[in-house]
Structure 1
């Protein structure tokens, strides 16, 4: 059983880069992929946390949270310090992880637009290549649970609108609804706490498929509201003093519609619940890593830990995600692959997106990346090459009733960010190198107008490009 470890704080600084460097193409013919094609294909374990912001990890220098198992993935792999989602909301982001596409392409634009069963996920080419496949955990896309093509074992839930509950969630396996307390996996008992259950189901899948290549998508409910840790982690941070962001003042409740979720507990107490829920999840991630070690599979298994979006705890006088600020769009994203990563333990400053995961998995498995995927393979970064993944990228938040958050388009480079609002708020321009907390809007500064105009052009061009039908881009 992996143990807790409290790491000392580190400070992650924004590095200056040329704003308009040349973008590079996807890396599809590399040593890692050649290895995958000629030898046993690598296993894939993707672990997704819900609402887990990028800095709530001890490896990122959080002042008190302890996540030794997630930290170990970083210490043995590559930690992407500048990883983001293209839309900071559960359903659009999750669809992008699966399809390698922007929401403009896969069509899941908010938490109410229905998943199109014609969408092609990375599971399908993996299945065709002989992989055993499983999706275990939170689906949370509109339209109910689909018949997910390319997936052998689909264990999820539709309880509480697809959110499930930390305790008392009945499961669904391959479309069959089970009674509360009934296990979807033979030989695995229900514990009653969802994080533990999903871990146990996942470990059984790994064990059952240890002699063939497998791809597991483990999708946790944690850390989503109501943020309930298991009894072992509950209360471990009761004595910690929380320092709120300076913007989290007394009128926060009136400034943000999402604050209604927190009226039944002080903000500091919910932040402790959030941290304790993360610790409970980290303990279970340790059990998955232990299972890979036990079966001798760790070296040939790609393990990825990521979050589906960030989370704001009073920054910009906001709670929740949805907005184009760093705390909302930035996520943890860590890749471990002992047989493939060169110089493990590195931190990358390349801007990695959620839609890059699907093409990266396929490339590492030696499978041709479909042309409709808009993400970029990160294989060059794993090989410790100097190629730039991208200079800039597009963020879009679609209105999501009943939340009164305006539609937003943003374009982020390594140094600057432009945010355009459809209504109700002045557009914003930030110099992230000199203002990483996005406090100083430069939109009206005379000496910033050339950069402003260039970013507008790039934003509009990219919005048009990623919105084209897939057939038009092939």
Structure 2
């Protein structure tokens, strides 16, 4: 009779049989979700992770505490639509063709959302794109037309337009969370572009914030009364001064009836206040009408200095009031990720399309290569990749986002993209980061705010700028000795060797990025032909 094997011997035999078979395939690493949060004109000075002087932004700050805060992030062209084109294409403005807000975006450009979509990502965009009504590479989008409106905004969708009652920052988040909850394909990684209108001019806060913020008083910037003594014509002729160029009605909400009674006429309208419904308008008037009455009483006694200070305070009250809503709504999204167990495998970016002047040099707006508009906030969280509470001072730009996201997704970037992936910095591998200078080029002149065309190079220590077209002027700043960039040392004898070195480096970087004076002239000639400039 055949004997059976003892049970323990049988078990050993089975284990040996399986151990000799083909090994199980390695588990493929899960590709990260990507959430790109961008506000419009959000100054880094107005994020408390950078500076606690003006406002507390605890939800945005979470991304720094749980991830990485970049202190030397900058843009290649400090104006809204061109910055967005650089982000999408990973190419400088002169290469992607969107050099300013006037020129159309060349839709033959390949963008990183198109590549992610092709590579298996579900893609969605909500909020402010600023150009184009049918963005490529998105499974779903709801975007504001042009600048959009703060109250009761209209949205463009693939199937038609819709107007939604409420406040734009809240609505953009509502639309985003609705997609996350109801239409996100949980079998795919996703790219979500969550894009805020705020804090773009004309700075209308949500009703819950303006009663508080209109009572605040803010410290004056050291350079509020800058006289541009060592600088050339560009700084002196720009039309973005708080005193002379900030409008009482459009920007600072003094009603037309009040201005008419004072004999003051302005070129722009209400800044969006007239879009409010009766309930919204009643809440607004209850706070802003007393401010207007107080202004009419003070105005006859005001000189240029006191009027500048009054305008500055009103400006910051509303500008920062809009940011309070952005911070709250970023918190809503981050809380959703936590509640749905999505945080661990999601790369989250918070940035702006550029920086903004909050009274520095007496200005509002952006456009110049001076720090307040050239530098932009950048906070990135990616659990298990980025060490929490890390500060990074390497020179990075909005040019780098496309290649960063593609590498994170395991997708090859096209050879003609011009940025550098930030993944090595995420992992703390600073030795492999070799960039020692960044390039900038601003084109939109003559135009709104009359900031002259200029290009330049910035290192951690110096910044060299060349203003051209109707002038030929150079500026050099020693960033270590002159953080406020008020002392142009281009002509100083002790800096002539630095000037020589930086001009050589500028020529090299322009060649690297395929920019030149000849190309600038081609754009100028094209614009003259189209009638954009004379």
TM-score by length of 2: 0.74
For 2:75, which of 72, 80, 85 is the aligned residue? 85
1:188 corresponds in structure 2 to none
Task: Say whether the 8 Å CA contact 2:446–2:452 is kept in structure 1.
Answer: no
1:320 corresponds in structure 2 to 365
1:431 Cα deviation (Å)? 0.8
Equivalent position SS for 1:126:
helix
More helix by share: 2
Query: In 2 relative to 1, CA 239–255 (structure 1 residues): closer, same or farther, beyond 3 Å?
Result: farther
Unaligned runs of 5+ in 1: 1-36, 182-190, 470-474
1:17 corresponds in structure 2 to none
**Whole-Å Cα distance in 2 between the matches of residues 106 and 172 of structure 1?**
24
**Whole-Å Cα distance in 1 between the matches of residues 499 and 515 of structure 2?**
25
Are residues 1:157 and 2:204 paired?
no
**Whole-Å Cα distance in 2 between the matches of residues 222 and 389 of structure 1?**
35
Task: Say whether the 8 Å CA contact 2:223–2:361 is kept in structure 1.
Answer: yes
Give the paired residue count: 416
Equivalent position SS for 2:210:
coil
Unaligned runs of 5+ in 2: 1-26, 229-234, 253-310, 517-534
Task: Say whether the 8 Å CA contact 1:378–1:389 is kept in structure 2.
Answer: no
Query: In 2 relative to 1, CA 433–339 (structure 1 residues): closer, same or farther, beyond 3 Å?
Result: same
**Whole-Å Cα distance in 2 between the matches of residues 245 and 283 of structure 1?**
26
1:210 Cα deviation (Å)? 5.5
1:306 corresponds in structure 2 to 351
Moved more, 301-310 or 120-129: 120-129
1:117 Cα deviation (Å)? 0.6
Larger radius of gyration: 2
Are residues 1:220 and 2:202 paired?
no
Moved more, 382-391 or 194-203: 382-391
Task: Say whether the 8 Å CA contact 1:419–1:428 is kept in structure 2.
Answer: yes
For 1:374, which of 418, 438, 463 is the aligned residue? 418
Are residues 1:209 and 2:253 paired?
no
- The Cα offsets for residues 9-51 of structure 1, whole Å up to 9 and x where unpaired, read as xxxxxxxxxxxxxxxxxxxxxxxxxxxx932210010000100
2:248 corresponds in structure 1 to 263
1:247 corresponds in structure 2 to 223
TM-score by length of 1: 0.84
1:12 corresponds in structure 2 to none
Equivalent position SS for 1:163:
coil
Equivalent position SS for 1:289:
helix
1:24 corresponds in structure 2 to none
Moved more, 352-361 or 421-430: 421-430
Task: Say whether the 8 Å CA contact 1:104–1:466 is kept in structure 2.
Answer: no
Equivalent position SS for 2:402:
helix
Structure 1 runs of 4+ with >6 Å offset: 250-254
**Whole-Å Cα distance in 2 between the matches of residues 299 and 383 of structure 1?**
16
Task: Say whether the 8 Å CA contact 1:51–1:224 is kept in structure 2.
Answer: yes
For 1:173, which of 151, 157, 160 is the aligned residue? 157
1:425 Cα deviation (Å)? 7.2
RMSD: 2.1
2:66 corresponds in structure 1 to 76
